[in-house]
Amino acid sequence: MIRHLKMKLSFLTLILISSIVFATDEITISKAFIKMPRPGVDVTAGFATIKADIDLKVMKVSNKNFKNIELHSMKMTYGVMEMRKLVEPKIGPNSPLVLSPGNDHLMLFGINEKLKSGENLDLTFVFKDSKDNKITKVFKFVVK
Ligand SMILES: [Cu+2]
């Protein structure tokens, strides 16, 4: 009886530990910034590296100060910079989403309120995991 109880307890402990492990932050961001737009320009770009230890797709990025935020790829074709909308880009344990100047980036359209250099903006990212569960994360981007 006691032995049975012990087994039950350790099983519970195991569940507890594993739920704690799964509850840890599996999506992290670094080098997140938004480029200060040139005066009179209504569009700018954002950059960051997003890592995840599970497979994810980026479904949506938003912030109330912008009408629309898209993910773009950038490619040189015959000396011309070509931007394309990225549809549900993937992030995986060994493939972070790297958004950097001259490469893939966030494109932020329709700025409502003027950006100030050094201010932080919260961008809301909606992800979907491999089981189609929605995961919402808010990441800070600094304007510079
Ligand atoms: Cu773009």
Query: pTM for this structure?
Result: 0.81
Q: Report CA(61)–ligand 1 centroid distance (Å).
A: 14
SS3 content of the chain, % helix, strand, coil (to 5): 15, 55, 30
DSSP 8-state assignment for residue 89: -
- With contact defined as beta carbons under 8 Å apart, do 37 and 143 qualify? no
* Topology adopted by domain 25-143: Immunoglobulin-like (2.60.40)
- List the domain boundaries for the chain: 25-143
- Residues 6+ away with beta carbon under 8 Å from 56: 27, 90, 91, 92, 127, 128, 129, 135
6 CA → ligand 1 middle, Å:
59
Separation of CA 81 and ligand 1 centre (Å): 10
Model pLDDT for residues 112-128, shown as the tens digit of each residue? 999 999 999 999 999 99
pLDDT in tens, 13-41: 555 555 544 545 589 999 999 999 998 99
Asked if residues 45 and 106 have their Cβ atoms less than 8 Å apart, the reply is yes
Report the separation in Å between the CA atom of 105 and the middle of ligand 1, taken as the mean of its atom positions. Answer: 6
